[in-house]
């Protein structure tokens, strides 16, 4: 058994006028962006499980974690089984063929054919692609691209078990 997929989230400052060096997690909210499961080697899966063991929390319907955008209402296969706090999460570099509109995730955009390229141990969730970054890319989606996305539901990350 193990995680078969991850719900990826992107951070956004609640108050854009705040000092960029402010590390207050309460000033950040995460938006769901895509679900990805392909591209991870067995070694990376094992490293993730070892690093995050005992840090996952059960997803409780109608009790979205406070660091997530509260408007997200997952249905069916999009409902996570677990979530992790941002400080315990990790960054994936994800590749997709294009950014497309969606109602599934609360960024209102998602990656078409997302695939994990690598685990980014050199980045924290504070350095991940933001919601504003995603919105600025929506008119430049030709030819594929790389994004560093915060995993989690960082707080929005949620693995799904087999």
For 14-23, the pLDDT digits (tens) are: 765 545 555 5
Helix (H, G, I), strand (E, B) or coil at 132: helix
Confidence of residue 31 (pLDDT cuts 50, 70, 90): very high
Is the sign of the CA dihedral 111, 114, 118, 120 positive or negative?
positive
For 119-134, the pLDDT digits (tens) are: 888 988 888 889 988 8
**pTM for the whole thing?**
0.78
Q: What is the pLDDT of residue 86?
A: 87
How far is residue 67's CA from residue 60's CA, in Å, rounded to a whole number? Answer: 14
Q: What is the largest CA-CA distance in the chain?
A: 44
Q: What is the pLDDT of residue 98?
A: 85
Give the closest residue to 47 by CA, choosing from 78, 10, 92, 80.
92
């Amino acid at each position: 058994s193990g995680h078969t997929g991850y719900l990826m989230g992107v951070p956004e400052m609640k108050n854009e006028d705040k000092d960029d060096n402010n590390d207050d997690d309460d000033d950040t909210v995460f938006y769901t962006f895509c679900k990805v499961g392909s591209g991870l080697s067995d070694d990376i899966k094992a490293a993730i499980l070892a690093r995050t063991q005992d840090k996952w929390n059960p997803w409780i319907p109608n009790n979205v974690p406070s660091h997530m955008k509260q408007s997200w209402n997952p249905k069916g296969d999009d409902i996570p089984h677990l979530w992790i706090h941002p400080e315990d999460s990790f960054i994936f570099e994800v590749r997709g063929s294009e950014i497309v509109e969606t109602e599934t995730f609360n960024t209102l955009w998602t990656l078409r054919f997302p695939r994990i390229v690598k685990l980014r141990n050199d980045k924290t969730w504070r350095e991940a692609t933001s919601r504003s970054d995603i919105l600025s890319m929506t008119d430049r989606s030709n030819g594929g691209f790389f994004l560093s996305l915060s995993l989690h539901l960082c707080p929005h990350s949620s693995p799904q078990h087999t």
